Amino acid sequence: MSTYFPFDPNPQSPSEPPPPLSCDSQFHVYGSADKYPVKAGAAYEMPSATWAAARRMHQKLGIQRGVIVQATTYGADHQVVLDALNALNQDGAKNYRACANAAVLLERDDAYLQVLNDAGVRGARFSRGGLGVSFDKGQLDRAFGRLRELGWYVKVQPEREGFAEQIKTYANLDIPVLIDHMGRANPAQGAADPGLRSVLDLLDKGNYWVMLSLGEKLSKKGAPWQDMVAVAQALIERAPDRCVWGTDWPHPLSVKPPANDGALLELLYRYAPDPAMRKKVLVDNPARLFGFDTTSDSTQP
């Protein structure tokens, strides 16, 4: 198992707080291997990235809602997510949801899926090659059908070279589809990037969404990642009601020290300088996609 850099343990507060009930739409949680066994062949583990550490980061940033995305580290065993949801939702506000690893659709039964659903799981992530589970055509069709029955969304992690090669698999679904990491668009190619074009085309359909995340790793120019602003703004312009944002904390597979999470929130502020649009991306859009209570006035994470 390779060694990667850990998250910055000292998140900085942003220059201005995000709007109330802002959501971190993708972060991961881990724990001790003694309690949460790592699957054979896992690419990484990060036992210090617990739900408690994630909550401290959210409190520092002013984030009050979040979506835990099951790490490939644990495969179809979602106990770490179930425990985190239970702990983070102790105040009764139900401000945390989760997204399963799609491996669960192959390896676990309907009863287990119902447990996840009851706990607050609302989607399943299909990971890029080498990190997740391979599905053949029949398995994919069955998986998509089960997600439709559950009322969950499909979440797609783009391949390293971008989303363009995956579009055939996910282009004709009739359930919500969330494309991670801006489709791994290449900012150096601008509007000519095939991955970006693929995502923009899908956003013309009403059930496709995009995550404004990973700008710090996709940037070709480095901090403050200004070359990613045009990419993100093209996506926001195409589908202002179907963009969400996430930290991707604790920044798995980082080959250099990860960015501070406060700086990543401020990068979003540059993507969406208009306060009304910022509220859509951070509050309104995730509330609709993930099923948060739109009437809640809770201010506790």
Q: Where are the beta strands (DSSP E) in the chain?
A: 23-27, 65-69, 96-101, 121-126, 153-156, 177-179, 208-211, 243-244
On whether residue 2 sits in a domain, the answer given is: no
What CATH number does residue 182 fall under? 3.20.20.140
Residue 211 β-bridge partners: 244
On whether residue 297 sits in a domain, the answer given is: no
On whether residue 89 sits in a domain, the answer given is: yes
Burial class of residue 255 (count of CB atoms within 10 Å of its CB; 0-12, 13-18, 19+): exposed
pLDDT range class, residue 295, cuts 50, 70, 90: low
**Residue range 20-46, pLDDT digits in tens:** 999 999 999 999 999 999 998 898 999
pLDDT range class, residue 300, cuts 50, 70, 90: very low
pLDDT range class, residue 301, cuts 50, 70, 90: very low
Residue 68 β-bridge partners: 27, 98
On whether residue 1 sits in a domain, the answer given is: no
On whether residue 12 sits in a domain, the answer given is: no
Instruction: Please identify which residue in the block is written with the tokens 């985190």.
Output: 84
**Residue type for 87, please?**
A
* 194 preceded by a cis bond (ω within 30 of 0): no
Q: Give the SS3 label for residue 205.
A: coil
On whether residue 149 sits in a domain, the answer given is: yes
**Residue type for 216, please?**
E
* Alpha-carbon span 176 to 70, nearest angstrom: 18
How many other C-beta atoms lie within 10 A of the C-beta of residue 123?
25
* Residues of the domain holding 264: 23-290
* Average pLDDT estimate for 237-241: 98
Q: Is the pLDDT of residue 1 over 90?
A: no
| The total number of structural domains that make up the chain | 1
Give residue 293's pLDDT. 84
* Average pLDDT estimate for 246-271: 97
Are 177 and 207 a contacting pair, CB within 8 Å? Answer: yes
Are 193 and 262 a contacting pair, CB within 8 Å? Answer: no
Give residue 91's pLDDT. 81
First to last CA, the chain: 33
**Residue type for 293, please?**
D
On whether residue 13 sits in a domain, the answer given is: no
Give residue 133's pLDDT. 73
Helix 110-119 vs helix 79-88: crossing angle, to nearest 10: 20
Q: Is the pLDDT of residue 294 over 90?
A: no
On whether residue 140 sits in a domain, the answer given is: yes
Residue 176 C-alpha from the chain's centroid: 14
Which phi and psi (to 5°) does residue 14 adopt? Answer: -70, 165
